Amino acid sequence: MTWFWYLAGAALLGVAALSIWTAFRNPAFVSGLAKIAIGAVWSAVAPAVARRMSPEEESRWRAAQRAGRGDEWLRDWKRRKQKHRG
């Protein structure tokens, strides 16, 4: 009876492989998948890249950089922005 389960598993694996092969042959599927992937990456990266400091904050950050505390100041600034955003 175990041969039946092996045969059923092989059939399901074959159906899954054929489905994936057929889907990736379709250019609309691949472009839609790429659009979803790029959108997910952008929404993960955009808040860190697009965030801008005000001129006053930037001058304080530069002063902290000169004093050797720039990384610490930047971590605190990011924490304050997270709390402010809610």
Tally the domains of the chain: 2
**77 CB contacts (<8 Å, ≥6 apart)?**
53, 57, 61
Say yes or no: 46 and 8 in one domain. yes
Q: What is the pLDDT of residue 83?
A: 72
In which domain, by residue range, is 32 found? 1-50
Distance CA 29, CA 82 (A): 37
Q: What is the pLDDT of residue 74?
A: 85
Say yes or no: 37 and 79 in one domain. no
Does the predicted TM-score (pTM) go above 0.75?
no
Q: What is the pLDDT of residue 86?
A: 53
> Sign of torsion, CA 71 74 37 12?
positive
pLDDT tens digits along 29-82:
999 999 999 999 998 888 777 777 788 988 988 999 999 888 888 888 888 877
pLDDT tens digits along 6-15:
999 999 999 9
- Tally of residues, the chain: 86
